[in-house]
Amino acid sequence: MQPKITHHTFMSENLILVGGAGGFIGGHLVGDLLKKGHTRIRAVDIKPLDQWYQRFPEVESLQLDLGRLDACEQAVKGATTIYNLAADMGGMGFIENNKALCMLTVLINTHLLSAAKDAGVDRYFYASSACVYNADKQRDPNVTALKEEDAYPGMPEDGYGWEKLFSERMCRHFREDFGLTTRVARYHNVYGPHGTYDGGREKAPAAICRKVIEAKLSGKHEIEIWGDGNQTRSFMYIDDCLKGTQDILASDIIEPINLGSSELVSINQLVDIVEEIAGVKLQRNYNLSAPKGVNGRNSDNTLIKKLLCWEPNTRLRDGMAKTYAWIYDQIVANK
């Protein structure tokens, strides 16, 4: 029998706090909330305001370190809803080489939950990650898609994945012990325009777009690929992430749930797609000593389809075309 899922209604005049609003997903979320008619939004990020990916003049924007309890108490004041997207993170190159920094992100969720409980916040969303899943389930590129229960027994991605799994548990216990309504989504590789595409924190879709664009513009038709290119992933376009995030927060789904595309590709196939968008063919040089993460990871969307009658469904080719166009414009403008 299909479970009954009711949806919480958000009043447009209630104050919404978006933690990590200066980042990729957070910036898009603030813009989407504005489009949906929300008039009171507080955007918070540790980065200086001039380094935020997107800024909106009609939104209260604050530079605060949410790893500090006093900053969290200031941020949550008067808020009824919290989206916690704040984290010190990046692509595989960053999280494999900065495990301690990733672990310290636990302070953000710890202090934000505490402040939310004390302030009587109504609903709290936590952005978790597919990196929480047991590594033994991700050794084969011909992967069996990951179901929610595959997070246990716990053996997540070292550093980043452990922090996310611990923070999921903390959300659960704040719900059980203190009555704070918490919702958790496990994001699978979110990509799109207005994100990091260079500097070391970028993820594979943006990195490959940048590398293909640079090869095309320079005339040096070569590309370095991390690993052997056979590792597999699914990638979720930002618009699907925004819809799923808000639907999950508004639902009665109390356990962590996958939010990701089920369209599985290898990194080599992702390069094929970007080459086709760019109209070039490049010589591929494989860096086998570079960080490449697990061999295979895909999202099993059985549960989200059952509970929300929806799943992320933007075709990778379509989302990558938009991402490529945005990164191309950035690179050309900065030359």
Phi and psi at residue 306, to the nearest 5°: -70, -45
**The predicted structure's pLDDT at residue 157:** 86
Q: Which residues of the chain have pLDDT under 70?
A: 1-7, 9-12, 91
pLDDT confidence of residue 200: 83
Q: Sign (positive/negative) of CA torsion 198, 203, 205, 208? A: positive
Helix (H, G, I), strand (E, B) or coil at 85: coil
- Contact residues for 240 (Cβ-Cβ < 8 A; gap 6+): 261, 312, 313, 314
Catalytic residues: 160
pLDDT digits (tens, 9 = 90+) for 210-263: 999 999 999 999 999 999 999 999 999 999 999 999 999 999 999 999 999 999
The pLDDT of residue 204: 92
pLDDT digits (tens, 9 = 90+) for 203-222: 899 999 999 999 999 999 99
**Angle value at C-alpha 128, between 126 and 132, nearest 5 degrees:** 150
Match 């930002």 to its residue by tokens.
238
Maximal CA-CA distance, the chain: 60
Instruction: Tell me, yes or no, if the pTM score tops 0.85.
Output: yes
**Residue 214 CA to its chain's centroid (Å):** 26
Whole-angstrom Cα distance, residue 68 to residue 165?
21
* Confidence (pLDDT) at 248: 98
127 forms beta bridges with 185
